[in-house]
Every structure is written in structure tokens, then in C-alpha cells.
Amino acid sequence: MRHIAVMGYGTIGSGVVEVLERNKEIIAKRVGDEVDVKYVLDLREFPGDPAEDKIVHDFSVIEKDQSVSMVIETMGGLNPAYPFVKASLMAGKHVATSNKALVAAYGTELLEIAKEHNVNFFFEASVGGGIPVIRPLYTSLAGEVVEEITGILNGTTNYILTKMDKAGETFETALREAQELGYAERNPEADVDGHDTCRKIAILTAMATGHEVNYEHIYTEGITKITDVDFRYADAMGTSVKLFGSSRIQDGTVHAFVAPVMIGKDHPLYSVNDVYNGILVKGNMLGTSMFYGCGAGKLPTASAVVADIIEALKNQDHHVEMGWDRENLTISLMNSISFRYFVRIKGIADKRVKEVEAVFGKVEVVELDHMDEFAVLTETMTEENYEIKAKKLSGIRQRIRAEF
């Protein structure tokens, strides 16, 4: 029997315990032994819960128990998750986590410690919830030079944008509905300001390049400035707006960003709606592949954690090489990336289009009825070039990067 401990008995932690129980026979077959949850670490008591007799409040109980071969971290945040995970690895225990903040901030160090102690630090569930994408990057796609990873990596923001797109709701109304359904936190800043997506694309970029990525170096723009009016234009144009976390790698140059992007119906991520996630990976030999599924949720995320448990316990005495090294990857400045731009401008198109084209060059004009404004779609230019040109034009109300 293999004994493990779960740290944090919230949504994901309780889901891990549930998956291990409900699928215990197939898990035992794949591990080659029965997997037993010996401890559940939490500050709370859980009277009447199936895990009631496993609850402990002192981490040292887990750390010092040599029969515990693996620790599952589902507490979230950095403290006490980081010191507890570090201590677990140093005690010779495998660790699996769903905590993207932990992996983005301390992944390099924790991977090194795992290697030093011949154990494994796995984090499949930290990106994409239940979607397998971390493991494919170092197994199925191991022979590829990854040229791009672009994903819809946050279910909360995708739900909000879908409601604005399909139901014509305002940002505020869609956010409130997401909160009522439990998709968004009471304080939704990490989601709507793009920070959650930023950490995830940092992890994916590190996996793709094999080098450490400082998520604070990634340009990050959320969805709070996207309006229902933007989606009225998008509908007229046959497009939509999605929050992308993207990393483009070419000739040693890496561009990474988080931002809303307007895309057409032929884009692989166009049909990824509601709380679902989609991740596009381009390899130099394979071309484009897509990973799609539930990007969050109790059991989908727990399923990814359990996959890590199986992988670790199958390699009980073996360190699996994966992750990245300590060399810090240079992320190029946002102003050197090229896009087309959707721009909303105050005024009447017939009276201003020549002025606009004198600034931006040839543009496509889009008009809606009964509006005191119009929109244009520019040709492709660098972000720096756009900013220089935009300063020469008055009345700009909105700018959204576009790729179609």
C-alpha cells in the first residue's frame, strides 16, 4: 500500500480524495499497489466527512512520517504552501500541486530540490484544470521545437466574454452572474486583470523553452475595458474577443503576453466558450495541435492531480526529468509584437476616414446604426508603431489587438 497526504481540503483537495476513492481499482492497477490517503491537512474540522478521521492540523506529522511517500498540495497561495512543499521534497516525498502561483514563483527551485532528492515535483493541474497539457509537452511533443503556445487559460474570463458576446451583457452584469454561479471570486482581480492567465502562460513558456520565466516580465492586460459595444462591432464583423495568454518563439526571440484579442471564425480558439479552456500548440514538425476541455472545477482538476499521483508512484524510486533550468529566459518587449488593431473612433466615418487613413494607412471601416462613432481595422503594424500613430489622432475610444 502507498500512503499519501493531502494538504488543503477545499474544492480541489476533497476532489482528489473523491477521485482516489471512486476510481481506486483502476488507480491501484495502474500504480501496481493500492493508494491510501493517510492524512488530510487542514485548519478546519470536518465532522461526518469520510475524511474526518484523517484530518491533522500539524504539518510536521506528515513531514516526519516516513510511510508517506507523496504529498498533494491543494491549499493555494504561497504561504504556507511553499515552505510545506519544499520541506516535503527535502524529506524525500514526491509532490503534486494544482497551485499555479506556487509553480510560477518557485517552480525552478522546487524542481531542483526534487532532482537532488530523487523525487518528483509534478504540476499538471496548475494549467488548464483537467486538460492534459504539461505532460504532453515533455512526452508526446518532446521531439518538437515549440514555436507558439496560445491559450484561453481562464474559465472565469472566458465565461464573462462569452456572455457579453452571445447574450449582449455588459461586463458588470456578466461578472456578477459569474460570481453568483461560483465561477468568479468575490474579489475577481486575479482573473479579470489577467494575472491568473499570466502565471499559466509563464509556466507553459518555461516548459516549452526549458528555461525559467519570470511572470512579472510578461505584459498583462485584462478584460475590464472590454464593453458590450465592442461585441456589437464584433458581431457585425463576424469576429469575437477572447483573453489570450500567448507565447511566440522564433529564432531565439520570445514574445509573451496576456491581452484581449479579436479573432475571426477560422481561428482554432474561436469556438472555445463559457468556462472551457483551449490551448493551441504549434510545433515545427507537427504543426498546430489543440488541447480543449474543462479548465477548472472540482473533479476535472482533481483528475489531473490524480494523474500526477499515478505518475509519481509508478516512479517511486526514479526522478522524471521535466520542467526547466535556472537560466532566465528573456521576454521581448510588447512594443515589438505586430498585430492588426480594431479601433473605435468618435465622429462620423465619412467626415473622418481620410484623417484616419492619413495616420494609419489603409483601413477597413465598420459602422453601427445610431452611434456617434465608427470603427476601423488597421493593417498589421508593431505595437510601438501603433502607439506613435494613435497619438496623432483624436477621439480614440477603444483599441483591441486583432489577428484575422
Nearest-angstrom CA–CA distance, 256 and 278: 17
Cis peptide bond upstream of 80, omega within 30: yes
What is the greatest pairwise CA distance in the chain?
A: 78
What are the backbone angles phi and psi of residue 366, rounded to the nearest 5°?
A: -125, 130
346 is a catalytic site residue: no
Q: What is the pLDDT along the chain (404 residues), one digit of tens a residue?
A: 999 999 999 999 999 999 999 999 999 999 999 999 999 999 999 999 999 999 999 999 999 999 999 999 999 999 999 999 999 999 999 999 999 999 999 999 999 999 999 999 999 999 999 999 999 999 999 999 999 999 999 999 999 999 999 999 999 999 999 999 989 989 999 999 999 999 999 999 999 999 999 999 999 999 999 999 999 999 999 999 999 999 999 988 999 999 999 999 999 999 999 999 999 999 999 999 999 999 888 999 999 999 999 999 999 999 999 999 999 999 999 999 999 999 999 999 999 999 999 999 999 999 999 999 999 999 999 999 999 999 999 999 999 999 99
- Structural domains of the chain sorted by starting position, each given as residue range(s) with its CATH number in brackets: 2-129+298-322 (3.40.50.720), 135-294 (3.30.360.10), 337-403 (3.30.70.1150)
pTM recorded for the entire structure: 0.96
User: Could you say which of 38, 100, 163, 200 is catalytic?
Assistant: 200
Specify burial of residue 354 (Cβ count, 10 A radius: 0-12, 13-18, 19+). exposed
Residue 290 contacts residue 149 (beta carbons within 8 Å): no
